[in-house]
Amino acid sequence: MNYQKPAALMLSTLGVAAGLAFVATQQTTVEAADHLDPPARTNPDVAGADADRNADIADVYAWVRGEGAARTAVFALSFAGPNVAAAGQEVPCDSDVVYQIHIDNNGDTMGGVEPTSTIEMRLGEDDRGTCFYRITGVPGAGANPIVGAVGHTRRVGTTMAHVGLRADAFFFDLVGFRETLMTATLAFESDRDFFALKNTSVMVVEVPILGVSPTDGSYRVWATTSRFGS
């Protein structure tokens, strides 16, 4: 395994800060953006035909649902996007990529964040060409992996997992961003979304909140991808 790329979480009131993970609490919405980064590895405009789109992290999202004892934590890792929607699109079933969502709930300082648990996903096809996902390390699922066909939701005990294509949830004026860089004059438009009508592959895991943070307090979330081979 020779490649890891962290996708940074950012608080919704902050700019993108590559390489950092921020505290996620039940009162705070957290988002992350990491599309086509690093460009020399994942962006077709830079890397050409060698771009590793399958291992490219798009976004990382974490939020809390429900009330009281029914509260759950939801984690979503999107990858291999954005893509213009087209008939016959599928999640890239790349068995050489490891997708990981890392969770830290022990209050480490920002300079030394180490995960207290890691959710890991691998993809693979059967002899009929059906793509399956295998997710391990899910809080609340014990040692049992969650296995299912891509496009379908699986439940194991009090945990849930889904892998499939979804509309890209990130909103950003990429045209305005590029114009701003070229002209040094702000050119963003609030109603211009580069990601509209585009999709991405996504892994979603939902677990009881106490399985993530035993004290129902704060935790940090970030993601990495790793590729086997050259």
Domain ranges of the chain: 10-227
pLDDT of residue 152: 96
* Percent of the chain's residues with pLDDT above 90: 49
pLDDT digits (tens, 9 = 90+) for 201-213: 999 999 998 888 7
pLDDT at 134 over 50: yes
The more confidently predicted of residues 40 and 126 is 126
Report whether 78 contacts 34 (CB < 8 A): no
Q: What is residue 52's three-state secondary structure?
A: coil
Q: What is residue 115's three-state secondary structure?
A: coil
pLDDT of residue 215: 67
pLDDT of residue 118: 93
Which residue in 90, 81, 101 sits closest to 131, CA to CA? 90
Which residue in 115, 108, 161 sits closest to 138, CA to CA? 161
Helix residue ranges per DSSP H, 28-71: 39-42, 44-47
pLDDT of residue 108: 60
pLDDT of residue 55: 92
β partners of residue 121: 99, 135
> In residues, how long is the chain?
230
| Cα–Cα distance measured from residue 17 to residue 15, given in angstroms and rounded to the nearest whole number | 6
Q: What is residue 48's three-state secondary structure?
A: helix
Q: Where are the beta strands (DSSP E) in 25-116?
A: 30-31, 57-65, 72-84, 97-104
pLDDT digits (tens, 9 = 90+) for 8-26: 333 222 122 233 333 334 4
DSSP of 174-192: HHHHHHHHHHSS----TT-
pLDDT of residue 1: 33
* Percent of the chain's residues with pLDDT above 70: 80
β partners of residue 78: 59, 202
pLDDT digits (tens, 9 = 90+) for 141-172: 778 899 999 999 998 888 999 999 999 988 89
pLDDT digits (tens, 9 = 90+) for 45-92: 888 888 999 999 999 999 999 888 788 999 999 999 889 989 999 999
Amino acid at 202: V
